[in-house]
Amino acid sequence: MNRLNGKTAVITGGATGIGRAAAKRFIEEGAFVFIFGRRQDALDAALADLGPNARAVKGSVSDLADLDRLYAAVAAERGTLDIVFANAGAGSPLPLGKITPEHIDETFDTNVKGTIMTVQKALPLMGEGGSIILTGSSAGTTGAPAFSAYSASKAAVRNLARTWAEDLKGTGIRVNVLSPGATATELAKEALGEEGQKVFASMTPLQRMADPAEIGAVAAFLASPDSSFMTASEVAVDGGLAQL
């Protein structure tokens, strides 16, 4: 398929997991992709895999100067931007009773403030036909034990698409949320552990975790004109986890 021919995309958290799988898929479908994240070694490994139609910019979505460098790099090489996949995210468990202000700040700085500033700073480069995709989570709908801050941050992300669809009226730019269920990535391994991953797989109607490529495939659909009449939607790619 070449649904993304000639398109330029930014993917935050694009060096690993879901972001990297999406970057691979976007490039296979014809896009030129900028990946963004904090670890140079992860960015280098991803670039080696993604090939000549990828660039990497090191930085944090919580740092406005880093985001400015990202979009300056996009403007310098490509001029405009068609697709933003605001996917960088983080979360760890802390049960009610043990939650600290630092834990809340850390989670919301990345997942909510980082998502807002990633998109806001992209807008001057975007126009008619643009697609913004935000990574939500099944946890934003269902809740998950000890994941208060993470789940609340992802519920906030779901609302951002609703509100921005209003703010973006008349621009021709669409915005949707892609909400994965349990997906086999570093984040899932760290946040859930081996046992937790088995529990989530068994709670999922399809009885397994997702492969990141299965999430990347839906990101490519939302990035492409195949989803041209979709905005403000949440697309669950969760094996049914949050749908019963």
Binding site for ligand NAP (CB under 6 A): 12-13, 15-19, 36-39, 42, 60-62, 87-91, 110, 114, 135, 137, 180, 182-183, 185-188
- Type and span of the H or E element at 132: strand 131-135
Catalytic entry in 150, 169, 189, 198: 150
Using alpha carbons, select from 38, 11, 62, 55 the residue that is nearest to residue 215: 11
Question: From the CB of 207, what's the least distance to ligand NAP, in Å?
Answer: 15
Question: From the CB of 58, what's the least distance to ligand NAP, in Å?
Answer: 8
Question: From the CB of 151, what's the least distance to ligand NAP, in Å?
Answer: 10
Q: Catalytic annotation on 150?
A: yes
Question: From the CB of 120, what's the least distance to ligand NAP, in Å?
Answer: 15
Q: Which is nearer to ligand NAP, 135 or 176 (CB)?
A: 135
Q: Catalytic annotation on 71?
A: no
SS3 181: coil
Tokens of 40: 């140079």
Asked whether the beta carbons of 112 and 105 are under 8 A apart, the reply is no
Catalytic entry in 7, 24, 71, 154: 154
Q: Which is nearer to ligand NAP, 127 or 206 (CB)?
A: 206
Rounded to whole angstroms, how far apart are CA atoms 70 and 88? Answer: 14
Rounded to whole angstroms, how far apart are CA atoms 150 and 153? Answer: 5
Give the list of residues 6+ apart from residue 72 with CB closer than 8 angstroms, or none.
none
Which residues carry out catalysis?
Answer: 150, 154
